[in-house]
Amino acid sequence: MAGLQADSPLPTALTVHNQSRVLEIAFSDGKAFRIPFELMRVYSPSAEVQGHGPGQEVLQTGKREVNLVELEPIGNYAVKPVFSDGHESGIFSWDYLYYLGNEQDRLWEDYNRRLLAAGADRESPMVVAGGHSCASH
């Protein structure tokens, strides 16, 4: 099983576009997506971003210019991106990439709404525990 769910569409093509900062991915059901690196980074499935349970998510800011440094295959079901800000703990299953691509309009709206509520924007530096900003995370 290449996807996490038995009936999941599988990727048929995967291209990293560093200049435009998008991951282009086509699936076996005919759908294709151009997923911005920024969207991947702010919705990383890692515990560092998602927390360890509902309500523990960490709002990611300052990721507009993030690049993809490396994209490592994980078995036949996922990839692990290494981002230019040093983040590399998220494993993106094919199912999750499909979700990001298919839902990106809604996800962008949700992200912008959370930024507004926090008084931040996409260029704001990250503020980590202790209240200081951290340009590397």
- 26 occurs within a structural domain: yes
| Residue 52 to residues 99, 100, 110, Cα–Cα distance (Å) | 20, 20, 20
User: Is the per-residue pLDDT at 135 higher than 50?
Assistant: no
Q: How confident is the model at residue 132 (pLDDT cuts 50, 70, 90)?
A: very low
- 111 occurs within a structural domain: yes
- What order do you get walking across the sheet with 78-83 strand by strand? 68-74, 78-83, 92-93
- 112 occurs within a structural domain: yes
CATH number at residue 65: 3.30.2020.30
- 125 occurs within a structural domain: no
- Residue 40: strand, helix, or coil: helix
The one-character DSSP state at 48 is: H
**% of the chain beyond a pLDDT of 90:** 74
- 3 occurs within a structural domain: no
- 89 occurs within a structural domain: yes
pTM of the model as a whole: 0.87
Q: How many domains does the chain have?
A: 1
For residues 22 and 32, what is the distance between their CA atoms, to the nearest angstrom? 12
What is the pLDDT, as a whole number, of residue 1? 35
Domain that residue 70 falls in: 11-117
For residues 68 and 31, what is the distance between their CA atoms, to the nearest angstrom? 23
Q: How far does Cα 81 stand from its chain's mean position?
A: 9
Residue range 7-60, pLDDT digits in tens: 889 999 999 999 999 999 999 999 999 999 999 999 999 999 998 888 888 999
- 128 occurs within a structural domain: no
- 54 occurs within a structural domain: yes
Give 75-136 as a 3 state SS string.
CCCEEEEEECCCCCCCCEEHHHHHHHHHCHHHHHHHHHHHHHHCCCCCCCCCECCCCCECCC
